[in-house]
Structure formats: C-alpha cells, structure tokens
A = this chain, B = another copy of it.
Amino acid sequence: MIIILDAMGGDNAPLEVIKGAAMAASEYDVSLRLVGPTDVIKECAEENGIYLDESKIEIIDAPDVITMEDPPLSVRKKKNSSMTVSLNLLAGGGGDAMVSAGNTGALYAGASLIVMRIKGFRKAAIATVFPFKNPTLLLDSGANTVVSPENLCQFALMGSVYMEKVLEIDRPRVGLLNNGTEANKGTELLVETHALLSRYERINFVGNVEARAVPFGACDVLVTDGFTGNIFLKLTEGLGEMLFKRIKAMYKKNFLSMLSAAVIKKEFKAMKKEFDASEYGGAPILGISKPVIKTHGSSDALEIKNAVRQAVNYVKSGVTLELAESIGAAVPSIEVVHESEETEPLIEYADDPATDETDDGGNEQSI
C-alpha cells in the first residue's frame, strides 16, 4: 500500500512530516511518497539525522508550497505545490491515500476538484472524532456553511459508514445537532432533515441531540452544517485550552499543590484528551473517491505517523466502496451537474461554500 504525504503541509513542515514519515516507514508495512521540494526534504533529513529508507520512502519533487493563508482555489493555481501534486498523484492512482497537515480550505477544495467525490454524493464533509464518553464523529466540521436536508442525510450516511468500518462501532447512533430534542425544533432545514432521517432505513437515527448531551455520549455520529460544526469544534478546543492553562497555573501556586499535581498528573493527561480531537488521528474528508486525511496544522511527527496508520486502516476498511454502494439506498438522488473548472459559481464556491447550495464544486466519479 502507498500513502502519499504532503511534506510541506502544516506549521511544523517539513521537519515533523519527514520525521513522521521515517517513523511510519519503520513501524508499518507501507510505502510512502513524500511530496515536496526534493532538495529541501533531503537537506532537512540530513541536518536532523533522519534516515529516509529509499526502499520504502520515495521523494516526489514539488517545488511550490500552498501557505495557510492561501485561498482554497490556490490548489488549482499553484499546480506545482506539494498539495496539488499530492492530490494529482492520488487521483492518478499513484497512491492509495493521502495525508496533509496543510491549508484545510485548499485541501477540501482540491479533494473535491482533483480527486473528486464518489458518484451520488453532492458535497464532501470534513469529519472530526471527539474522544468524549464514546468516540463521537462530528460532520461537517467546517467545509459547507450552507447545506440542504439531502446533504445532511448524506453526511449521516458517510459518518455511519466511517464509524462502522474504521472504528468498528455496530449500528452507530446518528444524532442531529439541534436546540431541542423535539422533532419540530430548530430551523426549517432541521425540521425537514429530521423527517428525512426518520425515514432513512440505512441510518440508526436517534433524533435531535442537544449540545449539552454530546459530551455524555448521546450519539456516535453528530450531524450538522459546517458553520455550526465549526463553532462546536472550536468552542470545545477553546474551552479545553483555557481549562488546562488554568489547571497548570493552579498547580504552580505552592509546594503542596505541586505535590498534588504529581499525584494526579496521569489522570489529567487522560482527561485533557477528551477535549483533543486529534486523539483519533486526523480528520477524513468523507465523500471523496479516495481517502484524504487532514491532520492538525500543528501536527508533530507522532501525529503524522498516526495519520499514516489511520490512512492505512481507512484504505483497508473499504469505507469508500461501501459508501459508493450505500448511496443508492439513500434519499432520492439528484442528477449530478458536472461543472467545468472555469465556471463562476465553482470558483466562487471554493472561496465561500455559502454561494453554492447544491453542489460543492467538485466533480464525481464512479469507483
């Protein structure tokens, strides 16, 4: 199996990505394609005494880089960037899955435009697993600000299949994030979606879920639009950061408190993880015809290594095939619009999902 690694993606690239690649190559039965400026990668490996086993790690040259500030469509403009070259490599069969810690918007747009969605899926979604009482998959975590009831039903399907196949959860409970549990709660969009999901046999729908209940394990898959999902994700991260800064400060107060800190250090570390979505590795972009995983921008070598293992499991799990087969049983499918790469709405979309309500701009393909 070949995993493609965007060597220049993330705040700690290329060093941590290269380190992670070397670790993954030595630990797992996998080949890696490290994509980036050959000279930079080789120099960085040399300077830091990292051994890149040529029998398992191939460097693919890509001189250009997409920064965290670049707009989503830079993935099409910067054709020689490590991310675009990686995506084209994956689309062309030069690898089984791709991992990047780079620009999320660009990666999402590129996955949809270059690797393309599975036929029948109208939008791809970024999925994040929270290590709450039980692992809880949140989607969409930020890609699609504007969605339709059909989109949300497809997110429910994507999330269910991912939790079944990759986290091996039987009949994952799907909840719809809402401001109350009754079926008539929330916006018209949510009322319609609730009605559709209630009739959706492939889905184990447990109804509307309030935000308060999610950390206590109210569902395995939490379905919402990309705006609300983004608020949910970032508020959890923010409250976690705030809290653990406070705890640290607290323990530095005096000798006794430092002592007590030592006593329960391990427990705190375990607890901290409940706020850390990177616990379960990176965020898969679901609905794409091949596995694309976005790892945290601040990923270190260990997180990169874990993301590679996650990519391997993702490929082995057969999620993509299962999704392609399940979509037939989904809510009434709609004729797919194949947009040329140059049409306005498409270009507008990638910069702002809100401008396109029917299709996330990428094309689809049968697999």
Contact = CB atoms under 8 A, between A and B. Distances in A.
A67 to B, nearest CB: 15
Contacts of A226: 179
Contact of A231 (B142, B228, B268, B354): B228
A214 B243 contact: no
A235 B238 contact: no
A276 to B, nearest CB: 13
B271 A227 contact: no
Contact of A260 (B216, B261, B351): B261
A88 interface: no
Interface in A2-50: none
Interface centre among A243, A263, A267 (most CB of B within 10 A): A263
A140 to B, nearest CB: 11
A234 interface: yes
A242 B184 contact: no
Contacts of A338: none
Interface stretch (A250-258, A279-287, A316-324, A359-367): A250-258
Q: Is the interface of A mostly helix, strand, loop or mixed?
A: helix
A227 B354 contact: no
Interface stretch (A79-87, A193-201, A205-213): A205-213
A210 B187 contact: no
Interface residues of A, number: 55
B210 A234 contact: yes
A251 B264 contact: yes
A215 B231 CA distance: 13
A246 B227 contact: no
A153 interface: no
Interface string A212-227: 1111100000000011
B267 A263 contact: no
18 contacts: A142-B179, A145-B179, A146-B187, A179-B231, A179-B234, A187-B227, A210-B234, A212-B235, A214-B238, A215-B242, A216-B241, A228-B228, A231-B232, A235-B235, A236-B239, A239-B239, A243-B243, A260-B260
